[in-house]
Each structure stands twice: as structure tokens, then as C-alpha cells.
């Protein structure tokens, strides 16, 4: 499988999907749905603990986006399992990574999600761990002291060697690739971000540059100039499919 950066073209997905072991799916969803009844349809599928989590957000817009993000996740997973979204139950690893509970009969299905602003991305694999990260590109966050704190020495040196016009994109390339991998591993801060190297220059393929991540691979997802995104997946023998989520008819 080539790991060239991809200008992402997301296709409408069928109501029911089959996922082979050598496939990894990425879904894009817009969390601002429009008419209130669309959000309500997703809200009805959520569990009590998801309602509790939504209530912790101070601003209504953040509450609505959380409800939409979880409702979309349930709808997506239900398409693979042939089950109602409201029937699904989740469990959480010690560092918070979600998985489907054993009663969902989906031991082989793995997933991860990320959202920034009104956009959400979901990664789904079978019998392989996946992680995904999406970040809105904010110049105020791409400061030298942040890179020095979280990036490896090689990455900081590479970042400084780039023309100033390329550094902002490179910073977020690096950040999203690292976060996607850490999320795929589900180990939280047990894997320091500066303990491994990734490519970051805008004209480079998304890749690991350190030996410890030999069994993993990266892909960059190019959504639009305001965002950076990446997916990490276990193994190298997988093909990427891209789906645009739409609210069920």
C-alpha cells in the first residue's frame, strides 16, 4: 500500500457496509446538522452516560456537537454490524480509548474518532488498531516552545530547517501524525510524543522515521487548507476507503 499523502475525496456511503481485514475506512461528518429534528434523531440513540458527558459542556454549541459526534459514531458502527445505533454499548480502556462492549458481538471491529470545530473524522478497522487526529490549523498554537516540549530533537531540527512559509503546516502535520499513533495505541501519556519520529515537511509522505514503530503505518488526510489530519493503523497491508456521512433517510 502506498502511503502518499491523499487529497481526500469522500464518497456517500451505503446504509450497510462490509469491511474486509485489509481495509480501513475513514468517515467525515459535519456536526452542525441544520434542522433541530436531525440532532434529535441522533440524540435518541445515546446512552445515559453520554447524556451526562454532554451536560458537562458549558456552551450549548459544544453540547450539540458532542451529541452529534456520538450519534454519528453509533450510526456508523451500526452500519457495519447491522444493528440499531441505540443497541450499542461501549467500554473504555484504562487511558480512555473506547471500544465496543462484548455484548455487541464485534470483537474484531476497531474504531477511533476526532473532531475539531464542526468537522469530525472516524476511523474503522477490522482486527487492527486504528487512531485518527484532526486539528484546525491555528498559528497561535504552533510556537517554538510547544514544538520543543512535545516533538523529538530530529523533528524540531527539521522544523527549524524549513522555510518560514512551510512551518505552520509542518507543525500540524507532525502533531496530528503523533496524536493519531498515540490514540491508536491507546496508551495515553505512557507514550511520550518525543519518543518517536514522524515526517512533517509539506512535500513529504506521511511516515514513521524511527524503528520502534515498524509495525505501524501513517496516512495524511488533506481536507482543506484550514485543517490537518492523519490516520495511524496497525500493519502496512491495508487500503483506505473514504466515506462522507449523511444523516439516514
The CATH number of residue 107's host domain is: 3.90.470.20
Same domain? For 205 and 224 the reply is yes
Domain range for 69: 6-133+238-244
Q: How far apart are CA 46 and CA 78, in angstroms?
A: 13
Looking up cell 488533506, which residue turns up? 222
Say if 187 falls within a structural domain: yes
Residue 97 has pLDDT above 90, yes or no: no
**Residue 239 DSSP SS3:** strand
Give the per-residue pLDDT at 35.
Answer: 87
Question: Binning pLDDT at 50, 70 and 90, where does residue 7 land?
Answer: low
- Residue 1 falls within a domain, yes or no? no
Q: Does 17 fall in a domain?
A: yes
Q: Is the pLDDT of residue 1 over 60?
A: no
Task: Give the integer Cα–Cα distance in Å for 190 and 75.
Answer: 31
- 118 and 143 both lie in a single domain: no
pLDDT per position as a tens digit, 216-243 = 999 999 888 899 999 999 999 999 999 9
Give me the pLDDT at residue 217, please.
96
Query: What is the percent of the chain with per-residue pLDDT over 70, rounded to a whole number?
Result: 96
Domain check: are 35 and 125 in the same one? yes
How many domains is the chain partitioned into structurally? 2
Residue 19 buriedness (CB in 10 A; 0-12 / 13-18 / 19+): middle
101 and 142 assigned to the same domain: no
Whether residue 4 is predicted with pLDDT greater than 70 in this model: the reply is no
Whether residue 249 lies inside any domain: the answer is: no
Question: So what's the pLDDT on residue 187?
Answer: 79
Residues 113 and 150 in one domain: no
CA-to-CA dists, residue 116 to 68, 109, 134, 151, 233, angstroms: 13, 24, 6, 21, 21
pTM passes above 0.85: yes
Would 117 be classed as within a structural domain? yes
Cα 200 to the center of its chain, rounded Å:
18
160-182: average pLDDT? 97
Banded model confidence at residue 105, pLDDT cuts 50, 70, 90: low
Reported as half-sphere exposure (CB side, CA atoms, 13 A), residue 80 has a value of 25
Amino acid at each position: 500500500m502506498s502511503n502518499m499523502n491523499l487529497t481526500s475525496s469522500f464518497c456517500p456511503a451505503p446504509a450497510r457496509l462490509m469491511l474486509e481485514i485489509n481495509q480501513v475506512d475513514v468517515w467525515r461528518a459535519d456536526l452542525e446538522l441544520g434542522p433541530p429534528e436531525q440532532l434529535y434523531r441522533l440524540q435518541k440513540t445515546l446512552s445515559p452516560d453520554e447524556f451526562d458527558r454532554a451536560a458537562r459542556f458549558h456552551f450549548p454549541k459544544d453540547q450539540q456537537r458532542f451529541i452529534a459526534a456520538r450519534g454519528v459514531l453509533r450510526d456508523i458502527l451500526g452500519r457495519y454490524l447491522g444493528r440499531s445505533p441505540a443497541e450499542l454499548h461501549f467500554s473504555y480502556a484504562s487511558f480512555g480509548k473506547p471500544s465496543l462492549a462484548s455484548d455487541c458481538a464485534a470483537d474484531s471491529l476497531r474504531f477511533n474518532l476526532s473532531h475539531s470545530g464542526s468537522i469530525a473524522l472516524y476511523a474503522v478497522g477490522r482486527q487492527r488498531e486504528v487512531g485518527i487526529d484532526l486539528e484546525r490549523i491555528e498559528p497561535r498554537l504552533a510556537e517554538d516552545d510547544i514544538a520543543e516540549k512535545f516533538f523529538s530533537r530530529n523533528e524540531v531540527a527539521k522544523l527549524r530547517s524549513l522555510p518560514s512559509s512551510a512551518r505552520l503546516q509542518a507543525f500540524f502535520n507532525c502533531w496530528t501524525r503523533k496524536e493519531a499513533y498515540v490514540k491508536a495505541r491507546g496508551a495515553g501519556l505512557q507514550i511520550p510524543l518525543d519518543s518517536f519520529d514522524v515526517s512533517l515537511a509539506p512535500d513529504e509522505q506521511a511516515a514513521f522515521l524511527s524503528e520502534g514503530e515498524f509495525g505501524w503505518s501513517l496516512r495524511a488526510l488533506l481536507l482543506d487548507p484550514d485543517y490537518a489530519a492523519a490516520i495511524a493503523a496497525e500493519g502496512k497491508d491495508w487500503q483506505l476507503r473514504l466515506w462522507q456521512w449523511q444523516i439516514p433517510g
